[in-house]
Amino acid sequence: MLTALDKKLLEEVADLHDQPPGAYNIRKDGEGIERRSLEGIEIKTKKDQPGIDVIVAAGKEGSVHIPVILTETDLSDLVYNTIDIGEGADIKLVAGCGIHNPGSGNAQHDGVHKIIVRRGARLSYSEKHFGEGDGGGRRVLNPKTILMIEEEAYAELELVQVRGVDETERITKVEVKAGGRLVMFERLLTDGEQTANSDIAVKLMGEESTARIISRSVAQGNSSQSFTPRLMAYGAGRGHVECDSIIMDQAKVRSVPEIWAGNAEAELVHEAAIGKIAGEQLVKLMSLGLTEEEAEEAIISGFLK
């Protein structure tokens, strides 16, 4: 039975107001509490380690929600999930973790997702992180996503961290085979004393493999962020990395995009920018009647949209 707090957290990280429409597995405080498999989408508990296997049959269309929520303090939850999306399937996968830490101890979730998008399949993957709680305890989220995109398959990743996560170490590793396509959008906001490190490594393994990585972040207060997206072309692939950060207050941002090519036909581009909110943007919005604070909020919200 989900409590009001559980529902609030699920809404934050998975836009769930009620039971998810497709297959789902909800994990709370280290245990699976609700699950539904469907024909062509099977969810099973792993036997050798904590976590689940999600097996999507070839050609299946639908959605899978696998959110995690933590509502206790002094809790460390480690989970390994494997998601296998069959050939030609078209799946929306919503993960994400919401932490409500009511005490002074740490609440930590380490989630390792291994995802295979098989030949010709399509995946839309959304992973949202959120933290809250006024007990003073830290909210820590360390997601690790390992993704294999097979030939002619397509994956779209949306990795979002909104307010309230004190510490995060994000690791994302992707291999894209010939004709495979990856679009990845990372959005991150830190404030106060929060820290966020994001390490992304994408390998373009075959001809006509493509990747587009867009990272947008806002660093406020005394927070610090570090981004190291790496794009490596082993085959004749094309890729683009874009890191863009708004820095405010006393925050610190480090951004080191890297491209590497081992094939003469590869085409890779990277760009990175760190800067404050432009004065002309503030003035424009204020000339429409917004206060300076409202204008700042509007710019940040658009930037992270």
Partner 1 sequence: MFTFENITLEFTVEEKKVPILHDIDLQLEAGKMYALTGPNGSGKSSVARVAMGIYQPTEGRLFYKDEDITSLSITERARRGIGYAFQQPARFKGMQVKDMLEYAFQHSDGVNCQVLRQIGLCPDDYLERTLDTSLSGGEMKRIEIATLLARNPKVRIFDEPEAGIDLWSFEQLIDVIGDSHREDTTTVVISHQEKILNMVDEIILMEDGQIKLRGDRETVWPQIKESTLCSCRTACRLGEEIYADCPR
Q: Which residues bind partner 1 (CB under 8 A)?
A: 216, 244, 278, 280-281, 283-292, 298-299, 302-305
CA distance 140 to 129: 10
CB of 171 to partner 1, least distance (A): 25
Pairing type for strands 23-28 and 68-70 reads: parallel
Nearer to partner 1, 33 or 278 (CB): 278
CB of 285 to partner 1, least distance (A): 6
Nearer to partner 1, 18 or 280 (CB): 280
Nearer to partner 1, 259 or 290 (CB): 290
CB of 273 to partner 1, least distance (A): 10
Residues 6+ apart with CB under 8 A from 279: none
CB of 295 to partner 1, least distance (A): 8
CB of 243 to partner 1, least distance (A): 12
E strand or H helix at 6: helix 4-14
DSSP one-letter code for 38:
B
Q: What are phi and psi of 248, to 5 degrees?
A: -135, 165
Nearer to partner 1, 38 or 290 (CB): 290
Pairing type for strands 252-255 and 210-219 reads: unpaired
CB of 279 to partner 1, least distance (A): 9
Nearer to partner 1, 84 or 186 (CB): 186
E strand or H helix at 294: helix 292-303
CB of 255 to partner 1, least distance (A): 15
CA distance 305 to 300: 8
Nearer to partner 1, 1 or 288 (CB): 288
CB of 302 to partner 1, least distance (A): 3
CB 66 within 8 A of CB 54: yes
CA distance 152 to 19: 33
CA distance 109 to 139: 9
Burial (Cβ within 10 Å: 0-12, 13-18, ≥19) of residue 45: exposed
Nearer to partner 1, 169 or 244 (CB): 244
DSSP one-letter code for 300:
H
Burial (Cβ within 10 Å: 0-12, 13-18, ≥19) of residue 4: exposed
Nearer to partner 1, 269 or 278 (CB): 278
CB 9 within 8 A of CB 69: yes
CA distance 110 to 112: 7
